Chains A and B, each alone.
Chain A
Amino acid sequence: MDPKALLKNPGTTPYARLKYLRSLPEEKLQEFFSGLFRHATEGREHQDWSALDAYLEEWERLADTHLQEDDGWVHYDSGPFVPLARPLAECRVCLVTTGGVYVEGQEPFDVRGDWSYRLIPRDTPRERLRIAHDKYDTAGALEDINCVFPYELMAELEAARRIREFAEIAYGFMGYIPEPQALIEETAPQAARHAREAGVEAAVIGTT
């Protein structure tokens, strides 16, 4: 029996953190499952699931920590920082999403890994927006795209003069990119250049 196969799940919210248990080594997974069995059995006996609840929480934390120590994840010792030159009421601000959002008629993202991006005009009607991404729970975003890509609210902020302008074009990426080199060297700088040439002075990026 493959313990990783036992962790296959529907990818919905209740599994959002537990799914990272997959990153643990096999002997840790066996430890997890034997504890799970024990807590479930004792929970049933006493009709008290609080210990099981705490147990799952603890393992979620452990999986998170392990994930962050995994050298496969990109991390940096230093990074760029540019202070905002003037108040946002005088700035053109763009929106970027990694939620796999694209416009009907454009090529959908390849959910197996895709470093390309889509240009999303701000006046795109909601019903023409699509999502191609299977590594997060898209149920909320499919109901209301603003929870990953708040483009209607950005337009509102422009109307209220909180920002000078919501840029004409937003940038849609699909965040599952197991080999990010082409993103780092090619597509991300390309999107940034596009935004700069469009006079964008600040960006809000929603990650999923």
Chain B
Amino acid sequence: MISVLSSVIQTVLVILAAPLTVGLIRKIKARLQNRQGASVFQPYWALLSLWRKQMTITKYSSWVFHAVPFVVFATSTILALCIPALGTGSWTAQQGNLFLLATALAVGSMFLVLGGMDVASTFGGMGASREMTLAALIEPAVIITFTTLGTLANTWNFDGILHAASQTPWLTSHPFFLLTILSFICVLLAENARYPVDNPATHLELTMVHEAMILEYSGPYLAILEAASAIKLTVLGLLLMNLIFPFFLTITSPLGALASLAGFSIKLLLAAALIAGIETVFVKMRFYRMQEYMTVAYFLGLAGLILSIAF
């Protein structure tokens, strides 16, 4: 019972905090670029006003177009349910097999792509083609990183993995775990359409992947899609921070719960700072050089996995 309650609370917390992550990233990025930047709570207002607006939908689209926002939101929610944010011991996180979650990521990008193709516009098709290519090519890196986590923890769900990590922080016990972390950062940036894979801020057709696919969405559907991508970003960012700093992950006692809540806020801030930092330092890569990025991500993960088996 406690475990079910714990997973519900964690998921709701992540969903509520997700727009804040986006706001934090934008704020930090603006400050690093000597700009004032909008309030960190701006994404909430944006979502709210989108939700109230009327939708315009192209006459060429079919039922698939209407199904896309819900499926994409659902896959993000599944990630939020199955990857613990606050602490270990939640019921849904114990059910979520690693490879099942990898397919949840794939289903999410697949439906975004279908939404992009269902509008009879070149922009949608362009983004769709690029997104699907990226999703296909990042797959080996995803599987290899997940396998490393599973092998190190000897368990195949994220609850067990974070539990094992919190016993002995892997970065100190296995220094080569850093390679896996780097590979995971590459995966995170690619999956969330951030620099250097995609530019989340523009609608320029040279750079856009994610934005091109959701170009025809408006009003409530757009709000759902934006929220979904914010949730995915938050979940993966928090997972990264929890792997680097596996502290404050027990929420059984009231004190522990408070500590983990504080840890949650700090980790969220750190994740946002890391992504904002990467986006300030790196430039967007040419799309046709993406295979180099994917290869680097894969070989980092491969090295991490082989070392974790050998030692």
Q: Do A and B bind each other?
A: no
